[in-house]
Amino acid sequence: MSLRQKVADKSAVVGVVGLGYVGLPLARAFHQAGFKVMGFDVDESKIVALKEGRNYLKHLGKDFVADMAKSGRFEATANMGRLGEADAVILAVPTPLGPHLEPDMSYVMRTTQDVAKTLRPGQIVVLESTTYPRTTRDDMLPVLEKSGLKCGKDFFLAFSPEREDPGRKDFDTQTIPKLVGGIDQESGQIAYEMYKHAIKSVVLVSSAEVAESAKLLENIFRAINIALVNEMKVVLTAMDIDIWEVVEAAKTKPFGFMAFYPGPGLGGHCIPIDPFYLTWKAREVGHATKFIELAGEINRGMPEYVVHRLMLALNKHGKAIGTSKVLVLGVAYKPDIDDLRESPSFELIEKFKDLGAEVDYNDPHIPETPKVRRHDLKLRSKDLSPEMLASYDAVVIATNHSDYDYALIGKHAKLIVDTRNAMKGFERRDHIVMA
CA distances from 35 to 39, 75, 123, 285, 371 (A): 12, 12, 15, 42, 36
Contact 420, 263 (CB under 8 A): yes
Closest CA to 79 of 40, 124, 27, 112: 40
Query: Residue 52: CB partners within 8 Å, gap ≥ 6?
Result: 69
CA distances from 99 to 9, 270, 374 (A): 46, 17, 9
Q: How many Å apart are CA 398 and CA 270, to the nearest integer?
A: 19
Q: How many Å apart are CA 36 and CA 197, to the nearest integer?
A: 13
Amino acid letter, 250: A
Query: Residue 55: CB partners within 8 Å, gap ≥ 6?
Result: 24, 49, 61, 62, 63, 64, 65, 66
Please state the length of the chain: 435
Contact 332, 399 (CB under 8 A): yes
- Sheet strands (E) in 279-391: 325-329, 358-362
Q: What is the bridge-based pairing of β-strands 178-182 and 156-159?
A: antiparallel
Amino acid letter, 393: D
Helix (H, G, I), strand (E, B) or coil at 306: helix
Query: Residue 115: CB partners within 8 Å, gap ≥ 6?
Result: 17, 83, 89, 91, 125, 144
Query: Residue 336: CB partners within 8 Å, gap ≥ 6?
Result: 59, 167, 365, 401, 402, 403
* DSSP-assigned letter for residue 103: B
The residues annotated with a catalytic role in the active site are 270
Q: Which strands, in side-by-side order, build the sheet including 202-204?
A: 74-77, 36-40, 13-17, 88-91, 124-127, 156-159, 178-182, 202-204
Q: Nearest 10 degrees: CA dihedral of 95, 100, 101, 104?
A: -20
Closest CA to 102 of 224, 221, 278, 271: 278
